[in-house]
Amino acid sequence: MAKKTVRDIDVRGKRVLVRVDFNVPIKEGVIKDDRRIRAALPTLQFLLDGGASLVLMSHLGRPKEGPDPQFSLGPVARRLSELLGREVRLAPDCAGPEVEAMAAALQPGDVLMLENVRFQKGETKNDPDLAARMAKLADVYVNDAFGSAHRAHASTEGVAHHLPGVAGLLMEKELKFLGDALANPARPFVAVLGGAKVEDKIAVIENLLPKVDKLVIGGGMAFTFLKAGWDHEIGKSLLDAERLDFARAVVRDAGPKLLLPTDVVVASSIESPEGTIVPCSSMPSDAMGVDIGPETTRAFADAVRAAGTVVWNGPMGVFENPAFAAGTRALCEAMAQCPGTTIVGGGDSAAAIEQFGFADKVTHVSTGGGASLEFLEGKVLPGVAALQDL
């Protein structure tokens, strides 16, 4: 799905409406992590260098009933001003006559940020009237918000029906790395899936299993597969009883492709100060699995280090508790040591690789948790489909 990007258009003297993903954690007006803002800088600078003025739009959080000061993009506008080294004005809304006047007054090099698009109820409903009013603010539309591209909202999909739409540099990067991994991976192609819920990963497993050379499953979801394949005692570990038949079929069909834990760390709860290493074949009935064990960690790390392409989505354990972070940390390290293409699929995996200091040692860390999952499922993302084809 080759899409036009900012490289394919002339923006000199034009107003460019850019959908960014500035949904960053803010506490008491202070941004706790500005990675998503920094990730958009190459696109914004490229457009400014090309002679454009910018109108930026993003959502922040999930405001329930219209405007809410705690979800204002004011702190984001201030941080972006610092990063760009120029003033970023904040509009009072994301559409309407006052905002249109502010946009019309922009000169090349000026930057205007719209207030949180979710203050308008029509945003999440992909209201065509709201999309048309947003489109009045500019001449061209750029979507650089991969993390929101799986949602058909007014600012991600609707507006592209009113303005010529192209991908930003971050969106281009996401589509390239994830797309190449699925379409033409260097081999061996290894997929590592973790996290809590089997349900969240069913479509990913179905799409990836025929493509990969190794499917590595850890985290809380592994226990459903251990129960399905070998009827192991899993104690108080996570079990998705409704997905046992699916897990049984995967164990049967994957054969030697499938790598599951052989030992685990168990504890009485996820808050416990320490755990005990046990073989998967003899887990105690009164404990729960909270991390992969050392034998499993070595096997998983070896598979990752030997990969030509590896895609990882989902932690190996309760890494938020330092006592149960060893498996996830070792996987991050193995990703950093792998000489092939290494892709981290957003969400908790991205948080983990950043936390353990390996984010700059992998090929690509996706900015979209839900979007990267849907992409790996083989779905067409509405925010991407709406952009112009090459």
Closest of 102, 155, 150 to residue 131, by C-alpha: 155
**Residue carrying structure tokens 């994301």:** 94
CA distance 62 to 68: 10
DSSP string covering 31-77: ES--HHHHHHHHHHHHHHHTT-EEEEE---S--SSS--GGG-SHHHH
Helical H runs in 107-233? 128-135, 169-183, 202-208, 222-230
Q: Distance between CA 172 and CA 214 in Å, rounded? A: 27
Cβ–Cβ under 8 Å, residues 21 and 35? no
Distance set, CA 266 to CA 70, 271, 278 (Å): 40, 12, 7
- CA 113, distance to chain mean position in Å, is 23
Phi then psi for residue 177, to 5 deg, are: -70, -45
| Residue found by looking up tokens 């205007």 in the block | 112
- Cis before 188 (ω within 30): yes
Exposure string over 80-100, b if 16+ CB within 10 A, otherwise e: bbeebeeebebbebbbeeebe
| Residue 41 CB contacts under 8 Å (≥ 6 apart), including other chains | 83, 84
Q: Residue 327: exposed, middle, or buried by beta-carbon count in 10 A (0-12, 13-18, 19+)?
A: buried
- CA-based Rg of the chain, rounded to a whole angstrom? 23
Would you name the residues annotated as active-site residues?
36, 197, 347, 370
CA distances from 294 to 33, 233, 262, 264, 297 (A): 32, 20, 9, 8, 5
DSSP state of 285: T
